[in-house]
Amino acid sequence: MVARRGPDRDAPARFPARDASVRFPDRDAPARVPARDVAAAVPDPELPMVTVADLGILRDVREDGDSVTVTITPTYSGCPAMREIASDLRRRLERAGYLHVTVRTELAPPWTTDWITAEGRLKLAAAGIAPPDPAARRAVPAGPVPLTLTAAPRAPVPCPHCGSARTTETSRFSGTACKALYRCEACLEPFEHVKDH
Amino acid sequence: MTDEYGAYQALAEESDDQRWAFGTGFTDPLEGVDTTVPPGVDGDALAAYCLMLGDDALVYSHRLQQWVTRAPELEEETALANIALDLLGQARMLLARAGRADGSGRDEDQLAFFREEGEFRNVRLVERLDADFAELVARLLIFSAWRLALFEALRASADPVLAAIAAKGASELAYHRDYAARWVVRLGDGTELSHARMQAGLAVVWPLMDELFTPHEVEAALPGVAPAVREMRGEVDAVLDAVLAAATLTRPAAAPLAGLGGRTGRDGVHTEALGYVLAELQSVARAHPGATW
């Protein structure tokens, strides 16, 4: 039987450049979970039922050998969870075998609730938090931002508990900057709504 | 649930992370953002401008935080805390931008805690402790209507960092302005007493409005970066007129508060009230220099 040689790791690379999508067979290194998958599984510290990928906070993951650069974006200027998210990303990626992890912030374009994925919306609703309606967010018109002195005519926010559309906004601000407080007039339960932003 | 390993659990682990609780220990809010000053832009003027807008938000955020535990209802308390948090976030990014633009390398903490009163560049509107809720919403209406107009214009700034901070903040300010406007209408168009107190609240803050639209030499030194603040007046006046009309209130006939030889908050000349804010804001950091929390 002819012994087959494995890939020669000292041979010149057969590919022009190493990129994350090309997995080299490397029998000495433990199998690593792709950095994107590790990063995408990080839960939001304040909404742990959804991940940073579900929320659209995770903007980019670049893998280069042992190094990973993750780009995240804040939901609101004052979001206190950014630090926790960055630490959590760093810790998980290091555990997954990446030796050099850089987490950077990107501000533009600004985050909007439109970036919350369909799966993220379902997870929020399942946890009793009414998700934002992508269609309801105001289109950015040219000129001054219109003032809304009364409840804006918008699609009702359905109750995540009973599904009724008879709901009332009790406060535009809630336990976190990204949520508003609502009450359902049918089942009388209060609930939170990730407001359009 | 995503998994069992959360940020809270991670705090208890042995690591080089010296923090003692969730939410403590701040890192640079512009980490990884390219803060190179664009060619042709005066870095010192850009830093001074960022301090102006950053100090407005920092001082006002502190004043709004002082309402926490004093608001009439829990919902209002939550709203004010959230508005204060948004402004604090804006302040952090603007101060960090200032420290990079002038090449001094000062971070947000050094700028917030270790500058003297005369080095603060905020407008005088944000300094005073509100006497009542009517005064609070009057001040918040004027401040957020003006800042929203300014931030909308800043989206097109020649400094991409400032443009990004403004684009992020603008949608927050739209919520702040609507919140204040609705309360002004509710109180103005309410009972005889609430109407009178709302009108009185407007009268207190009105003399401080002119300063918001007074051009400053720092803005003049930043063509394409800093929009002309005088041009915001029409838009802000239109918003205020719409709110006052719905609220059955009238524009107070009050003369603008004079500066000292023409110098005002933007030049470091402040009202007595700022010293009290800074004493509270800075005392812990100054008593324990180098402490982390």
Q: Is A69 inside any structural domain?
A: yes
Domain that holds residue A166: 128-136+157-194
How many C-beta neighbours within 10 Å does residue A33 have?
Answer: 14
Q: Look at residue A27 in the predicted model and tell me its pLDDT.
A: 52
**CB proximity list for B210: less than 8 A, separation 6 or greater:** B256, B257
Q: What is the ipTM of this complex?
A: 0.84
CB contact under 8 A, B15 and A76: no
Task: Tell whether A40 is covered by a domain.
Answer: yes
Q: Is A64 among the domain residues?
A: yes
Q: Which residues in chain A have their CB less than 8 angstroms from residue B182's CB?
A: 149
The answer as to whether A14 is a domain residue is no
Give dist(CA A149, CA B134) in Å, integer. 17
pLDDT digits (tens, 9 = 90+) for A43-52: 998 899 999 9
Domain total in chain A = 2
Say whether pLDDT at A19 is over 80: no
Chain A nearest CA to B227, separation (Å):
15
The nearest alpha carbon in chain A to B161 belongs to A107
Report if residue A81 sits inside a domain: yes
Q: Which residues of B touch A102 (CB under 8 A)?
A: 32
pLDDT above 80: residue A16:
no
Of A41, A103, A174, the CB nearest to B78: A174
What percentage of chain A exceeds 70 in pLDDT? Answer: 78
Q: Say if pTM beats, i.e. exceeds, 0.80.
A: yes
Name B264's Cβ contacts closer than 8 Å, sequence gap at least 6: B123, B124, B211, B214
- Taking contacts as CB-CB distances below 8 angstroms, the residues of chain B near A145 are 148, 152, 170, 174, 177
Sequence-ordered list of residues with C-beta below 8 angstroms from that of B261, at least 6 positions apart, any chain: none
**Inter-chain contact A172–B26, Cβ cutoff 8 Å?**
no
Contact call for residues A127 and A54 (beta carbons, < 8 A): no
Provide the pLDDT for residue B8.
60
Of A42, A50, A144, the CB nearest to B235: A144
Min distance B149 CA to chain A CA atoms (Å): 7
Q: Which residues of B touch A148 (CB under 8 A)?
A: 178
- Closest Cα of chain A to B129: distance in Å? 22
Task: Give the residue extent of every domain in chain B.
Answer: 39-287
A131, two tokens: 């998700």
Q: Kindly identify which residue of chain A lies nearest to residue B241, measuring between CA atoms.
A: A147
**From the CA of A160, how many Å to the nearest CA of chain B?**
18
Q: Quick one: pLDDT at residue A189?
A: 94
**Across A56-70, A78-92, B42-56, B173-187, least confident range:** A78-92
Residue B216 DSSP one-character state: -
Quick check: helix, strand or coil at residue B142?
A: helix
Integer Cα distance of B173 and B87 in angstroms: 9
DSSP conformation letters of A60-128: EEEEETTEEEEEE--SSTT-TTHHHHHHHHHHHHHHTT-SEEEEEE--SSPP-GGGS-HHHHHHHHHTT
Instruction: Give me the mean pLDDT over the A17-28 stretch.
Output: 53
Same-domain check for residues A40 and A97: yes
Instruction: Say if residue A100 is in the same domain as residue A132.
Output: no
Query: B14: which 2 tokens?
Result: 């042995």
Q: Please report which confidence band the pLDDT of residue A105 belongs to, taking 50, 70 and 90 as the band edges.
A: very high
B160: closest chain A residue by CA: A108
Which residue in chain B is spatially nearest to A138 when comparing CA positions? B171
CATH classification (class only), B39-287: mainly alpha
3-state secondary structure of A167: strand
Q: Identify which of B2, B149, B179 has the shortest CB distance to residue A51.
A: B2
Q: Which residues of B touch A101 (CB under 8 A)?
A: none
Residue A137's pLDDT is 58
Rg over CA atoms, chain A: 22
pLDDT the model gives residue A152: 58
pLDDT at A149: 79
- Of A67-76, A135-144, B56-65, B120-129, which range is least confident? A135-144
Residue A5 confidence (pLDDT) above 70:
no
Residues of B in contact with A173 (CB under 8 A): 75, 78-79, 81-83, 175, 179
Secondary structure letter of residue A21 according to DSSP:
T
Q: What is the pLDDT of residue A3?
A: 44
CA dihedral B180, A113, B59, B23 (to 10 degrees): 130
Asked if A80 and B85 come within 8 Å (Cβ–Cβ), the reply is: yes
In a domain, A70, yes or no: yes
DSSP designation for B260? B
The tens-digit pLDDT sequence of chain B (293 residues) is 345 555 566 556 655 555 555 555 667 889 889 999 999 999 999 999 999 999 999 999 999 999 999 988 888 999 999 999 999 999 999 999 999 999 898 999 999 999 999 999 999 999 999 999 999 999 999 999 999 999 999 999 999 999 999 999 999 999 999 999 999 999 999 999 999 999 999 999 999 999 999 999 999 999 999 999 999 999 999 999 999 999 999 999 989 999 998 899 999 999 999 999 999 999 998 998 877 76
Spell out the alpha helix ranges (H) of chain B.
Answer: 7-11, 43-65, 74-101, 108-113, 133-154, 160-188, 192-205, 217-220, 233-246, 273-287
Strands, sheet with A67-72, edge to edge from the N-terminal-most edge strand: A58-64, A67-72, A100-105
Count interface pairs A-B at CB distance under 8 A: 151
Q: Do the chains contact at A172 and B179, CB–CB below 8 Å? A: yes
| Cβ count within 10 A of residue B281 | 18
Residues A101 and A161 in one domain: no
For residue B2, which of A47, A51, A115, A58 has the smallest C-alpha distance?
A: A51
User: Cα–Cα distance between B275 and B246 in angstroms, integer?
Assistant: 37
| Chain A environment of B1 (Cβ under 8 Å) | 43, 48-49
Sequence-ordered list of residues with C-beta below 8 angstroms from that of B181, at least 6 positions apart, any chain: A147, A149, B141, B239, B243
Residue with tokens 């970066």: B225
What is the least distance, in Å, from the CA of B270 to any CA of chain A? 26
Residue A25 binned pLDDT confidence (cut-offs 50, 70, 90): low
DSSP line for A104-115? EE--SSPP-GGG
Smallest CA–CA distance, residue B126 to chain A, in Å, is 19
3-class SS shares of chain A: helix, strand, coil, % to 5: 20, 20, 60
Q: Is residue A5 part of a domain?
A: no
Q: Across the interface, do B243 and A149 touch by the CB < 8 Å criterion?
A: yes
Q: Quote the DSSP letter at residue B33.
A: -
pLDDT for residue A11: 47
Task: Flag whether A143 is in a domain.
Answer: no
Residue B141 CA to chain centroid, in angstroms?
A: 13
**Which CATH number do you get for residue A49?**
3.30.300.130
Cβ of B7 within 8 Å of Cβ of A84? The answer is yes
Closest CA to B148 of B177, B121, B126, B125: B177
